[in-house]
Amino acid sequence: MSSVAVAVADTDTDDPTPLLHDSSPYGDSASGDEEIAPSSSSNEPEPDGSSRPNSPVGSNQRLASLDVFRGLTVALMILVDDAGGAFPSINHSPWFGVTLADFVMPFFLFGVGVSIGLVFKKVTNKQSATKKVILRTIKLFLLGVVLQGGYFHGRNDLSYGVDVRKLRWLGVLQRISIGYLFASVLEIWLVNNIAVDSALTFVKRYCIQWTAAFLLVLVYMSLLSGLYVPDWNYEVLSTNTSSTSRYGSGTQILISDDNTNLYGLASRLCYRVHCGMRGSLEPACNAVGLVDRFILGVDHLYQHPVYRRTKILDQLIFPVQQECSVNSPDYGPLPQNSPEWCLAPFDPEGILRIDSIMELAELFRVYGHMQRVFLWSVSSFPLLISGYVLFVLGIPLSKPLYTLSYMCITAGASGFLLTIIFYIVKMDDLKVNHKMDDSVSALTFTTLVDVKHVKKPAMVLQWMGMNALIIYALGACDLFPAALQGLYWRSPENNLVDGTELLLQSMLHSRKWGTLAFVVLEILFWGLVAGFLNMKRFYVRL
């Protein structure tokens, strides 16, 4: 799994701003919005809507905090992607459960939602704002197809190219772009013009958005539990039709033996997956996969799903043990009694997950209205509790399916992180050069990184957040490591990337810890690259 947050440069001010944050007239993010206002008059907005010069709450301060949050998420993404193989406990959960990697995508959506809340606080030209949102959505979607459609093969594969019949249409960037479009349009067009001075008026102002989010949840849960999933087939290209240790022991039908691949003669094996049920949440027979196979086609789905590492021992879920890897929770050979669905494609970024992404984007969007931090940080605890209650009641945590319990837990965790930052900011010993009462302090979103003695160590993360798109494309999508591996000495294994990792493994006498050291070095490298780009004031804009 790979996730992304994007940074661009504001051409008018030369200040780096997030992709979904714009300082244009229709995207005014000045602090003069009629939100939950401070009780004192010392921080009232000027008549023209601008803040007083001595206001402690500056947009640049808020942006620095967002950049650090975004950079931290990018670093976390690199960590779990590149070190997850050595440490399966932090890698994506094979199907049920939540690990560190499963929080990365919600954290990215959190950054997107906050940016939307900043951009569209006040919109004077709705048509122009909508046009810009649509254009950015198209750009981000197409970039996702290029990076994750299968054209680039990543590390350890010096080839490139993709059969258009197997092009992957949906990926991380594509989902983020659609969630961004949905939440932005709601923010631009459907916000009630009600002054917010209490929790009740806050709810009234955004009742349409909450209604939309509730309807999305209702539709998603109805489809997940109500769609009938019939039996279905898929094919696997095989070079050895008799190898059940590699291809499992499910129902196999030999289609032909005259297909060739790069290695010579090959055969296509057809597997039949037996379902005939509704409401299943297991890998083979869920409604999520049904919709993807029907609309996108099985050939356009992700070919290496996480459930290939799964081992499910719960007799309440399956009457017999379901195992797709002898090395679970890591990848490994198929056991002799593996179920027929182990090699089936499944896209974790498919059609129905777009619905859940829109729900999360809409939730996180409201976090972007900084004067509401208290209300929304407090609401994080009910989200966490609700997720746990749903889990206890039988709705499992599953990122591939984006179950309701998973969405509540991850949304609450994102808000809980914001709550911690919020209360740390309120501490008297962190009030730098300003005498602020409690109400003004509560409205400050400068976070730890805007405090002098904490800002310097966080600078690397801020740089990464300001140019997160480049780091995602070159680092997380393995474009740069794959390019380096293309330069080798005598044999492809003798390249700078693999050589550095092997050297660290040898120095630490551990393959696992050597890999972790290599990943940490990789994160520092990209931090320095981002710092150099920041020094040159070079920022990618979409």
Q: Note whether residue 272 is domain-resident.
A: yes
Window from 278-292, 319-333, 421-435 with minimum mean pLDDT = 421-435
Q: Does the structure show a pLDDT above 60 at 211?
A: yes
Is the model's pLDDT at 384 over the cut of 70? yes
Is residue 48's pLDDT more than 90? no
pLDDT at 260: 41
Question: Domain range holding 241?
Answer: 228-323
CA distance 56 to 433: 9
pLDDT score recorded for residue 357: 64
Largest CA distance in the chain: 81
pLDDT of residue 331: 74
**102-140 pLDDT, tens per residue?**
998 888 888 888 788 777 777 788 899 999 999 999 999
Please report which confidence band the pLDDT of residue 330 belongs to, taking 50, 70 and 90 as the band edges: confident
Domains identified in the chain, total number: 1
Which range among 3-12, 59-68, 70-79, 263-272 shows the weakest confidence by mean pLDDT?
3-12
Least confident of 45-54, 118-127, 221-230, 412-421: 45-54
Residue 338 located in a structural domain:
no
Q: Which residue has better confidence, 111 or 246?
A: 111
pLDDT for 456: 62
pLDDT of the residue at 422: 54
Q: What Rg value do the Cα atoms of the chain yield, rounded?
A: 25
Q: What are the backbone angles phi and psi of residue 162, rounded to the nearest 5°?
A: -145, 140
Backbone angles phi, psi at 190, to 5 degrees: -120, 15
- pTM assigned to the model: 0.76
More confident residue, 436 or 537: 537
**Beta bridge mates, 266:** 259
In a domain, 57, yes or no: no
Whether residue 234 lies inside any domain: the answer is yes
pLDDT for 376: 57
- Of 300, 22, 16, 358, which Cα lies nearest the Cα of 163? 300
Long-range CB pairs of 85-90, under 8 A, 24+ apart, other chains included: 85/330, 85/331, 85/515, 86/511, 86/512, 86/515, 86/516, 87/512, 87/516, 88/309, 88/329, 88/330, 89/329
Is 155 within the bounds of a domain?
no
**Burial of 394 per CB tally in 10 Å (0-12, 13-18, 19+):** exposed
pLDDT surpassing 90 at residue 228: yes
Give the Cα separation of 124 and 10 in Å (integer): 19
Q: What confidence score (pLDDT) does residue 514 get? A: 93
pLDDT tens digits along 490-524: 888 888 888 888 999 999 999 999 999 999 999 99
- Mean pLDDT, residues 154-166: 76
Instruction: Provide the pLDDT for residue 364.
Output: 59
- Please check whether residue 419 lies inside any domain of the structure: no
User: Which pLDDT score, from 0 to 100, does residue 423 have?
Assistant: 56
Cα→Cα distances 432→30, 60, 69, 168, 443, Å: 22, 16, 21, 50, 15
pLDDT of residue 21: 41
